[in-house]
Amino acid sequence: MVNQTAMNMRRIHSLGVRKVAVGGIPPLGCLPPFTGLYSYKQCNNTLNNFIAIHNHQLNQAVTKLNQQVKDQSTFLVFDIYESFMSVLNNPSKSNIKEKFKACCDGISIRYICGSVENNVKKYKICDHPESTFFWDGLHPTQAGWLAVYQQLQVTRTFQQIRH
């Protein structure tokens, strides 16, 4: 996957795009389906370790691409993983009160957010989505994405892409 991403980045650059950025993978072990195994109190570190290996390999591939074109800011990786983790480790900075549990969830294990059966909703929505990080089992809420974006803005990569 990393090799294909590097090839795609090189191809985009060959088409004349001056700066090519790609996002790393976020900490999937912090998604509600995985944190539920820990009563929504912590991430699955085993899964996150695999993600960290992928992101490290992606950074190495991008470093190699930059060495080939001799311009350190041509190819960039947005460190989504660290931005997510920064918010999840310090949720109060972003007014996030629920960091691991989904705001929208099925009423039982049979259902997911948005499930409807016989015109009856089979999901529930939390009272304060503005203070939760995850909307459903996969997607951050608007507040969650805003917190990640704000964290990402202070990174070196974000500064490089803007200039």
Q: What pLDDT digit, counting tens, does each position of 114-152 carry?
A: 999 999 999 999 999 999 999 999 999 999 999 999 998
User: How many domains in the chain?
Assistant: 1
- How large is the angle between the packed helices 45-69 and 80-89, nearest 10 degrees? 140
The pLDDT value recorded for residue 161 is: 61
Its domain, for residue 133, covers 2-162
Q: What pLDDT digit, counting tens, does each position of 74-112 carry?
A: 899 999 999 999 999 999 899 999 999 999 999 999 999
Q: Give the pTM.
A: 0.87
Cα–Cα nearest to 149, from 62, 87, 88 = 87
**Mean pLDDT, to the nearest integer, of 47-71?**
93
Token pair recorded at residue 125: 């929505």
% of the chain beyond a pLDDT of 90: 85
pLDDT band at 21 (very low <50, low <70, confident <90, very high): very high
